[in-house]
Amino acid sequence: MNLRRLWAVARKESLHIRRDPRSLILAVGIPMLMLLMFGEALTLDVDRVPFVVWDQSHTKESREFVARFTATRYFDFRGTVERYAELEHAIDTRSAMLGLVIPPEFAARLAAGRHAGVQAIVDGTDSNTASIVLGYTQGIASGFNAQLALEQIQRLTGGTPAPALDLRTRVWFNPDLASRNYIVPGIMAVIMGLIAALLTSLTLAREWERGTMEQLASTPVRPAELVLGKLLPYVATGLVNMVIAVVMAVFVFEVPLRGSVALLFGLGSLFIVATLAQGIFISALARQQLLASQLAMISTFLPAFLLSGFAFAITNMPLPVQLVTRIVPARYFVAVVKGIFLRGVGVSVLWVEAVFLLGFAVVLLALAIRRTPKRLA
């Protein structure tokens, strides 16, 4: 390999990036915009759930029960209704996701020590959100039941019994359970992989469309020098994007960075090289910029979003799909970013991901070099 020829190709690609403002916008502006949009728009938090109440009891006990919902940030009281049809209309129009129906004999049955039924109607259109809302509702009902049982025991015995179980919970790595701390590091990996592959997917295809590939083929430049020369400017661009993403994650979204910054950028460099090489391989296959960009989008964004563990837990997927996720580089980088950002772990924990990322980088570079023609047919 001749370093002078490699440097000449790298310099040529760098000049093209500088002279094409669209490439600069794609390389720097779009990742910032996407991170802002996804970081602000995507959330797994379920709070301020709108709910209405049909209170047919109108007693102190029914108001105390409703007050347990209004006293938490997880529910947003939208008023009372007087008929079942009004409750149905509120859920149909999505002005409420939960409807509570308290029967007329609610207080009387509680006073008699009997079961008092309360109906909770939940909009199940979004099954995940509905499951969480049901969990909140059942938790509040359990707390209300426990308080009633405690008051009854106090009336009968005159004392307060000691709890048999003292459960003390502690949440590690994300004490506030903020979904932003989970989403932002993951979306960083998705965006970086997408942009890196899109950038390099246009390189060789552009040469073919402009007819300059014939000129390159007539020079002494070898395929390895051509691929690595076109790769180097985009590696620098990818690292700049990573710096911007890390700074935004820490200072804009306030995601804690507990691990090694050097390790994050070291493993991030492997991921960037792997996705850039994937883009060049696609570019060599397609030979058309439009087709290359479409293939890059399909082969990077969709697998990274669906199969990396960022949006959906891999352990919940069918076994064949779990096996497919093992060939998705974003899966390993998502684990790296979350491990360094939230857990603060090091190489002793992330060495498997590091080996896979290194393997992906080497294999994809080899495929890109092999696919780049030495001479025109």
How high is the mean pLDDT in each 10-residue block of the chain (377 residues)? 76 76 72 81 80 93 92 92 92 93 90 86 88 91 85 73 75 83 85 83 75 69 81 86 90 90 93 89 81 84 85 86 91 92 91 93 88 62
> Looking at residue 103, what is its pLDDT?
92
Are 352 and 326 spatial neighbours (Cβ–Cβ below 8 Å)? no
CATH of 49-157, one of 3.40.50.10470, 1.10.3720.10, 2.40.30.30, 3.40.1710.10: 3.40.1710.10
51 forms bridges with which residues in the sheet? 77, 98
Contacts of residue 3, defined as CB under 8 A and 6 or more positions apart, other chains included, come to none
Q: What pTM does this model have?
A: 0.79
> Looking at residue 118, what is its pLDDT?
92
Q: Coil, helix or strand for 74?
A: coil
Contacts of residue 20, defined as CB under 8 A and 6 or more positions apart, other chains included, come to none
The DSSP call for residue 326 is T
> Looking at residue 377, what is its pLDDT?
47
245 phi and psi angles, rounded to 5 deg: -65, -40
Measured from the Cβ of residue 244, the count of other Cβ atoms closer than 10 Å reads 14
Pinpoint the residues of the chain covered by CATH 3.40.1710.10: 49-157
Distances from the Cα of 52 to the Cα of 68, 77, 116, 128, 131, angstroms = 14, 6, 19, 20, 18
Give CA–CA dist 303/286, Å, rounded: 20
Give the chain's end-to-end CA distance (angstroms, integer): 23
Are 62 and 107 spatial neighbours (Cβ–Cβ below 8 Å)? yes
> Looking at residue 174, what is its pLDDT?
84
Angle, alpha carbons 368-370-372 (nearest 5°): 70
H/E element, 84: helix 84-92
Residue 199 CA, chain-centre distance (Å), reads 22
Residue 135 CA, chain-centre distance (Å), reads 23
Residue 320 class from Cβ within 10 Å (0-12 exposed, 13-18 middle, 19+ buried)? exposed
80 forms bridges with which residues in the sheet? 53
Q: Coil, helix or strand for 121?
A: strand
Residue 208 structure tokens: 């073919």
Residue 375 CA, chain-centre distance (Å), reads 43
Measured from the Cβ of residue 362, the count of other Cβ atoms closer than 10 Å reads 14
Q: Which amino acid is at 110?
A: L
The DSSP call for residue 161 is P
> Looking at residue 376, what is its pLDDT?
47
Find the Cα–Cα–Cα–Cα dihedral 102, 104, 106, 109, rounded to 10°.
-150
Give CA–CA dist 338/39, Å, rounded: 15
Are 147 and 101 spatial neighbours (Cβ–Cβ below 8 Å)? no
Distances from the Cα of 225 to the Cα of 10, 94, 252, 283, 286, angstroms = 9, 59, 40, 16, 20
